[in-house]
Structure 1
Amino acid sequence: MRKKILIAISLFILIGISACLYIYKGHRDIESETADYVVTVNELEKEFASNDSLANIKYQDKTIELTAPVTSIDKAGNGIVMSEKIFVTFKNGLPQNIISGKSLKIKGRFLGYDELLQEFKIDQSSVVH
C-alpha cells in the first residue's frame, strides 16, 4: 500500500513538473530565426484566394520575410501597412527610419488573414537590412 502511494505521488509530481515546463516554455525570438518562407504580397494573395484553409495551415505561426512598399504608418498602433494589404506590428517599437512610399523588407510571425479588414496580419516584426 505504501509503495503504491509513493508511486502515485512521484507520478503526480512528474506530471506537474512536465506541465509547468510546457506551459512556461521560452518565447520565440523571431528576429533571430531563419524565415520559413520568403514571399511576395501577390503570392500570399494567390494562395489565400485559391485555398485559404491550406494557406493558413502553411503560413500560420511561421516566420516569413517579405518586401513591399509602406503605404501608411500607424504610430499609435506601433505598426505599418504594406501594399495596402498587410498590417505589420513591430516587436521593439516602430523603427525610426520607415518612410511611407518606400519599399521595406521585414521578417515577422504570420498571424493570418483578417477577412473583415481584408488584410494579412504579421506581428513581432523587425526590419531586415
Structure 2
Amino acid sequence: MKKKILTTILLSLIIGISVYFYTYQDHRDIDTETADYVVTVSGLEKDFTSNDSLAYIKYQDKTIELTAQVTTIDTANRGIVLGEKIFATFKDSLPKEIVAGKTLKIKGRFLGYDELLQEFKIDQSSIVR
C-alpha cells in the first residue's frame, strides 16, 4: 500500500515539474535569430495567392526578413506599413530612422494574413543593418 502511494506521489511530482518547465520556457528573441526566409512583398503575395494553406504552413510563426518601402507610420500601435501590404509592429517604440518613403530591411515573426485589411502581419520587428 505504501509503495503504491509513494509511486503515485513520485509520478505526480514528475508530471507537475514537466508541465511547469514546458509552460514557463524562455521566450523567443527574434533579434538574435537568423531569418528562416528572405522574401519580398510580391513573393508573399504570390505564395498566398497560389496556395494559402501551404503558405501558412511555410511561413506561420517563422522569422522572415524583407526589404520594402515604408508607406505608413502608425505611432499609436508602434507599427509601420511596408509596400502597402505588410503591417509590422515593433516590441518597444518605433526606431527614429523610420521615415515614410524610405526603404527599410526588417526582420520579424510572421503572424499571418488579415483578409479584412488585406495585409500581412509581422510582429517583434527590428531593422536589419
Q: Please give the range of the TM-score, normalised by the shorter of the 2 chains.
A: over 0.9
Question: Which residue does the alignment assign to 1:42?
Answer: 42
Q: Deviations over 1:21-45 (max 9, x none)?
A: 0011000000000000000001100
Q: Which residue of structure 2 aligns with residue 93 of structure 1?
A: 93
Structure 1, unpaired ranges of 5+: none
- The reply on whether 1:8 has 2:8 as its aligned counterpart is yes
Alignment RMSD? 0.5
SS at match of 1:125: strand
Q: Deviations over 1:60-109 (max 9, x none)?
A: 00000000000010011100000010000011311011010110000000
Aligned sequence identity (%): 71
Q: Which amino acid aligns with 2:99?
A: I
Counterpart of 2:114 in structure 1 is 114
Q: Which runs of 4+ in 1 moved over 2 A?
A: none
Could you state the TM-score of these two structures normalised by the residue count of structure 2? Answer: 0.99
CA distance in 1, matches of 2:18, 2:93: 34
TM-score by length of 1: 0.99
Q: Distance in 1 between matches of 2:33 and 2:7?
A: 42
